[in-house]
Amino acid sequence: MVSRLLISFSVCFIFFLTSLKSQDLDVNLNSNEDSFEYEQDFLSAEFHKSRRDSLRKLLPEGSAIVFFSSPERNRSNDVYYEYHQNPNFYYLTGLREPNSMVIIYKELQRFNSFETNEVLFMQSRDKNSELWNGRRLGIERAKDRLKLNAILPNKDFLTFNPRFDSLRAVFFDSPFALEDGDTTSTDNLNGLFYHFSKKNPTELKDNQRIEGILMAQLRQIKTEEELVLLRKAVTITCEAQNKLMQEVNENMTEFQTEALVEFVFKNNGAEYTGFPSIQGSGENSCILHYTSNRRPLIKGGLLVSDIGAEYHGYTADVTRTIPPTGKFTKEQKIIYELVLEAQTAGIEAAVEGASFWQPGLITTDIIAEGLKKLGIIKHKNEVRKYFMHGTSHYLGLDVHDVGTYTPLVVGNVITVEPGIYIAQGSDCDPKWWNIGVRIEDDILITTEGPENLSTCSPRTVKAIESLMEK
């Protein structure tokens, strides 16, 4: 009886909510228009416009480029993952909503009622959806806030002529992991565009992914406005690492250390983690991207904490390796200080004009020589047994940000993160087994040399043990 009553009530309630769409909900939805944005430190509309203008300069004559917002992704049943925008799309528009598309033309285009060199298609406001899921920006507010030359409802793409037949080339960039969708729905502009391209194959003369070509050139050099947000993300991440050093003890589990650092993220305004937090202890310290985070720390060993807060789109990536007991053992200290020596030299090599790979070459050579002296390897060319990953990657809107991997230039932000991982059963003295160490910092390339953005968290043995002292 109770179940039937609940079902009956649910049906009536859903019917009632559906009927609200035809009623005036403006008072409820619009009474707090000024509070649509609760924070004022997002990237400015002028920043996004400058990025579109810079991209336009890189486009060949007579071309256009198309970007899509990320789709909403289903987690299970009627539950969806928390939404995250396609970084390329956000970089160029500032819009953080799904179901959107932007076309950027090299030259000014004349349409029936207007002329423009850019068109944004986005979802309109919907009273019922906003009641359940929060306010949408809407076309009119977008015109005021985003400052694009032309903004249209996404349904208008059904009848819009993008004039691709008059262009020499049309490039397009699709976000990763697109879900299949209805190619006739205005809520799936990527599907619509795909459908359009199949119907008009001669109009898309030069399709290719452009992330590694044009967007990499732009995004690898951070502006001062971007660096404000990136520094904020790094500061939050360092604070989390420091809090972990102060609070960790052997009675905790890996997932409790994860909860501790992610509390600091959220408590300081970070919207997301930049990637799943890596909290690998003991044998798990030797697994590079370990994210299960279930092991009790009382089983011993070091804790590799590789974490990054994401603030307004920009993510940090800072790794510290700490002893849950508060003190490194003799063997742990030897391996740790070898990694630190290599990292310090790698950071010093991250200078304007140097090869992107130079920090990695230097750190690898130092680690190889050190492991040979310790008798862990016999020949330096065996170093990849215990240091098997790259030393650097770009950092920004993605934790592994796009870039050209050409010589370093002012405005690049890269990581320097050497490591040594000696798993149980390795071909060396068992006293070294299950020692995994990684030290990672975020480095800005400047005219004055490398600037370590993450010095706010200690990385020497002495400083770490001092902070951990209870």
Active-site annotation, residues: 78, 289, 306, 317, 389, 393, 400, 417, 421, 438, 440
**Cα distances (Å, whole numbers) of residue 212 to 94, 177, 196, 313, 356:** 21, 17, 25, 20, 16
> In the chain, count of helices (H) and strands (E)?
13, 18
**Cα distances (Å, whole numbers) of residue 285 to 25, 203, 268, 424:** 54, 52, 27, 11
E strands present in 3-142? 63-68, 74-76, 79-80, 101-110, 115-122
Tokens of 13: 């309630």
Q: Point out which residues pair with 415 in neighbouring strands.
A: 442
> DSSP class of residue 394?
B
- Please report the sign of the dihedral spanned by the C-alpha atoms of residue 389, residue 272, residue 239, residue 281: negative
Helix pair angle (45-58, 139-146), 10° resolution: 80
SS3 417: coil
**Which secondary structure element, helix H or strand E, spans residue 171, and what is its range?**
strand 169-173
Return the amino acid letter for 153: P
> DSSP class of residue 49?
H
Reported residue count of the chain is: 470
Return the amino acid letter for 321: T
419-446 as b/e: b if 16+ CB within 10 A: bbbbbeebebeeebbbbbbbbbbbbbbe
Instruction: State the chain's maximal CA–CA distance in angstroms.
Output: 78
Would you say 128 and 17 are in contact if contact means Cβ atoms under 8 Å apart?
yes
Rounded CA-CA distance 214/301 in Å is: 45
